[in-house]
Amino acid sequence: MKKSISILIAGAAALTASQANAATVIDGSCVSVTDSAGCLFSGNINSNTTGGNSFLNAQNAYNLYNDTHPTADPDILLTVLAASDDTNFSSFGSITGGGSSSGTWDLTGFDVDFVAVKASNAFVLYQLSSPASMGSWDTFDIPFKNNPHNISHLVFFGTETVPAVPEPATWAFMIFGFGAIGGAMRRNRKANVKVSYA
C-alpha cells in the first residue's frame, strides 16, 4: 500500500513538473496567431514531439486558450518542419541575424504556415497570411524593458513542396514507354515506304 501511494505521489510530482515547463499563452498578449503581433507564450518551444518544450504543448495551449477566447478561433494544427537550432537545419534552410533581434529566413522548397520566434523565456507564434518559403523575423513582440531581446531560435511549421523523386519502377515504366513509342514510329516508317518503277 505504501509503495503504491509513493508511486502516485511521484507520478503527480512528475506531471506537475512537466506542466510547469509547458508553454502557456499570456492572457492579454494574444488576440490570435493571425494578428500581426502574433500570440505571446511564456516558456520554450522546439521541434520535438515529446517533453515540456515540445511544439505540441504550444499547439494544445493555444487550442485550450481558444476555448475561452473567441478571437483566437480557429484551433491550430502545427506540422513541424525544422527549428533553426536543430543540428540538421542547414539541410532545410537558412536564417540571417542569428544573435540579434531581427533577420530573414529562407526555406526554399517548403510552404511555411506558422513561425515561432523564441527569445529569453517567451516566444511568439505567428500564422502567415499565406504560405511562404521566405520572410523576415524579429523579436519586437516579446516584451523586454525598452529594448528587443536577441533571438534564441526559430521554429517553422508547414509542408514540403519539393516534388518527389520518381521511384525506380516509375523510371522503368517511362523508359519502356519511350521504347514502345520509338518502336511504333519505326514500324510506321517502314510501312509507309513505297516502291515505284519507272
pLDDT tens digits, one per residue of 130-179: 999 999 999 999 988 777 889 999 999 999 885 656 667 666 677 767 77
pLDDT band at 19 (very low <50, low <70, confident <90, very high): very low
Please state the domain extents for the chain: 2-160
Position 177 scores a pLDDT of 73
Please give the model's pTM, rounded to 2 decimal places. Answer: 0.72
* SS3 assignment for the chain: CHHHHHHHHHHHHHHHHHHHHCCEEEEEEECCCCCCCCEEEECCCECCCCCCCEHHHHHHHHHHHHHHCHHHCCCCCCCEEEECCCCCHHHCCEECCCCCCEEEEECCCEEEEEEEEEECCEEEEEEEEEEECEEEEECCCCCCCCCCCCCCEEEEEEEECCCCCCCHHHHHHHHHHHHHHHHHHHHHHHHCCCCCCC
Indicate if the pLDDT at residue 66 is higher than 50.
Answer: yes
